[in-house]
Structure 1
Amino acid sequence: MTKETFQSHIQSGVTLVDSWAPWRGPCKVQLPIVEELADELKGQATLAKVNVDNETELASQFGIRSIPTLLLFKDGKLVDKMFDLNQEHILKKKIIKLAGN
Structure 2
Amino acid sequence: MSKVIEVTDQNFEQEVLNSDVPTEVDFWAPWCSPCLIVSPIYDKLAEEYGNFKFCKINVDDNPEIPTRYQVQAIPMQMFFANGKRVDELLGAVPEQVIRSKVADVLRRFPVE
How does the TM-score come out when normalised to structure 1? Answer: 0.91
**Aligned partner of residue 22 in structure 1, secondary structure:** coil
- Structure 1 residue 96: deviation in Å? 2.2
User: Aligned equivalents of 2:87 and 2:33: distance in 1?
Assistant: 23
Give the equivalent residue in structure 2 for 1:59.
Answer: 66
How far apart, CA to CA, are the structure 2 residues paired with 1:62 and 1:52?
Answer: 11
SS in 2 for 1:71: strand
| Alignment partner of 1:76 is 2:83 | yes
Provide the aligned C-alpha RMSD in A. 1.3
The answer to whether the 8 Å contact 2:32/2:74 transfers is yes
Which stretches of structure 1, 4 residues or more, deviate above 6 A after TM superposition? none
Structure 1 residue ranges without an equivalent (≥5): none
> Of residues 30, 49, 55 in structure 1, which corresponds to 2:56?
49
Deviations 1:17-64 (A, max 9, x none): 0000000110110111111111111x2100001000001111101111
Distance 1:94 1:72 in 2: 9
- 1:19 maps to 27
Size of the aligned set, in residue pairs, is 100
**CA–CA separation in structure 1 for the residues paired with 2:64 and 2:105:** 27
Identity of aligned residues (%): 31
2: CA distance between counterparts of 1:44 and 1:87?
21
Stretches of structure 2 that go unaligned for 5 or more consecutive residues are: 1-6
Q: 1:4 pairs with 2, 7, 10, which one?
A: 10
How far is the alpha carbon of 1:97 from its aligned partner? 2.6
